[in-house]
């Protein structure tokens, strides 16, 4: 979007951030989709990083910013001023968690109001941001951005941990890297990061992982384009350890897109006979792209199909290992997708739980005797995890749960649950089933 020649630096970034927030806050759009659409048009990587930082910070704190606007304005902004409201959220985010230079943030945000066609309200924007700078934004509990019904679910399922879950979900996530062991070790890659000015931490029981405690764009990572490294949370990296298929095994990844977990398995054992399945053909192309970048999976089968419709795609040869990373509420990754709290509805949970049950029932007969099936979600809700597994075991003769080490999280009696922020990881659930020989 064009800006006036005399506008303050960074105005375009504020305009773009406001446009993304307007779409997410007021029109039900996905943050991930909006960022993917808008960021390629931003030439300067620093501006791209700023747009992302503003959007995430504003969505994590939107309840506090709504409270400030309600308290400081004599009447709510009308619907036609939704873009201006989004810009004010962007302005508050710059002053509040991002702690940018107040002078620069105010100047650029006020000029952004003019660029958005709200020149007559530039004074209002200036006054509200100056008040935020002078008085500070109102405090608020981290659970205020959660819808009541979902907040109650979390408090019911995790009464002693709920506040820690809400706090972790409102905090930025570290950057977790997975080093491609076909291209080198985590230790050697950590040295490359140091040469690039990035400090990382190794994790004793995650041999491929490195943690960086600041946001890093993948394109800024040494060797990313050449497949030396991927960005993948620690909890997702544990999937390979949990499933741990025999060398050269026939493996199914039933909900494979975007392909990170399949790629990790192949990086560890290129001899795996892997089938990557996903119901979305467009997303399956992402799997192929992931494999090509990392130099794995040249012989993998990629199938676009509904995993529950096994008659349509299964060739009749059993799999020795099956990964079912099931569609879920994603309540364990709110810190990475803060907008899902705006989009999730109570009816979603029943539909997701029913789908998860159908997937388990459909895939279990495909498992070879002596094989293992890993059921995983990025949910923290008992309905999708403990209760789902308990019901599956009850109706499935021969399905036995194998215990996993404490590193996978707390024992629920029917699988292991990692809660958001524990050991720096996302919220994630693992249940490993074995089938008798």
CB 249 within 8 A of CB 276: no
**Nearest in space to 118 (alpha carbons), one of 194, 232, 19:** 19
Exposed / middle / buried, residue 406 (Cβ in 10 Å: 0-12, 13-18, 19+): exposed
Distance CA 227, CA 293 (A): 5
CB 34 within 8 A of CB 24: yes
Distance CA 257, CA 280 (A): 8
* Annotation: binding site for S-adenosyl-L-methionine: 255-261, 278, 306, 325
Exposed / middle / buried, residue 215 (Cβ in 10 Å: 0-12, 13-18, 19+): middle
Distance CA 280, CA 282 (A): 5
Residue positions annotated with a catalytic role:
378
| List of residues 6+ apart from 163 with CB closer than 8 A | 142, 143
**Nearest in space to 269 (alpha carbons), one of 230, 299, 296, 303:** 296
């Amino acid at each position: 979007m064009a800006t006036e020649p005399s506008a303050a630096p960074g105005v375009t970034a504020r305009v773009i951030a406001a446009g993304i927030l307007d779409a997410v806050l007021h029109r039900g759009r996905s943050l991930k989709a909006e960022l993917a659409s808008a960021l390629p048009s931003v030439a300067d990587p620093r501006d791209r990083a700023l747009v992302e930082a503003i959007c995430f910070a504003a969505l994590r704190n939107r309840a506090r910013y709504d409270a400030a606007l309600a308290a400081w304005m004599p009447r709510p902004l009308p619907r036609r001023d939704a873009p201006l409201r989004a810009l004010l959220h962007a302005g508050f985010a710059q002053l509040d968690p991002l702690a940018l230079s107040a002078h620069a943030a105010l100047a650029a945000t006020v000029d952004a109001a003019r660029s958005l066609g709200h020149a007559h309200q530039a004074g209002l924007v200036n006054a509200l941001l100056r008040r935020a700078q002078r008085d500070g934004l109102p405090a608020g509990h981290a659970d205020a951005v959660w819808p009541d019904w979902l907040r109650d679910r979390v408090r019911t399922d995790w009464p002693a941990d709920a506040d820690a879950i809400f706090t972790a979900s409102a905090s930025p996530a570290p950057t977790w890297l997975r080093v491609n062991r076909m291209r080198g070790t985590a230790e050697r890659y950590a040295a490359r990061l140091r040469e690039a000015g990035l400090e990382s931490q190794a994790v004793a029981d995650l041999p491929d992982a490195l943690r960086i405690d600041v946001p890093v764009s993948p394109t800024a990572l040494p060797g990313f384009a050449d497949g030396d490294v991927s960005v993948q949370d620690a909890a997702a990296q544990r999937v390979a350890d949990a499933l741990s298929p025999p060398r050269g095994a026939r493996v199914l990844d039933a909900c494979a897109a975007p392909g990170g977990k399949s790629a990790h398995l192949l990086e560890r054992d290129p001899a795996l006979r892997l089938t990557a399945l996903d119901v979305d053909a467009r997303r399956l192309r992402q799997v192929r792209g992931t494999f090509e970048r990392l130099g794995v999976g040249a012989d993998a089968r990629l199938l676009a199909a509904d995993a529950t419709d096994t008659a349509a795609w299964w060739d009749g040869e059993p799999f020795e290992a099956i990964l079912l990373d099931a569609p879920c509420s994603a309540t364990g990754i709110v810190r990475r997708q803060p907008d899902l709290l705006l989009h999730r509805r109570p009816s979603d949970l029943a539909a997701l739980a029913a789908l998860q049950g159908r997937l388990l029932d459909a895939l279990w007969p495909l498992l070879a005797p002596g094989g293992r099936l890993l059921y995983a979600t990025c949910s923290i809700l008992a309905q999708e995890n403990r209760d789902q597994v308990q019901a599956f075991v009850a109706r499935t003769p021969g399905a036995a749960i194998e215990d996993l080490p404490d590193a996978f999280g707390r024992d629920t009696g029917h699988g292991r649950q990692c809660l958001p922020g524990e050991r720096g990881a996302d919220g994630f659930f693992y249940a490993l089933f074995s089938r008798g020989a």
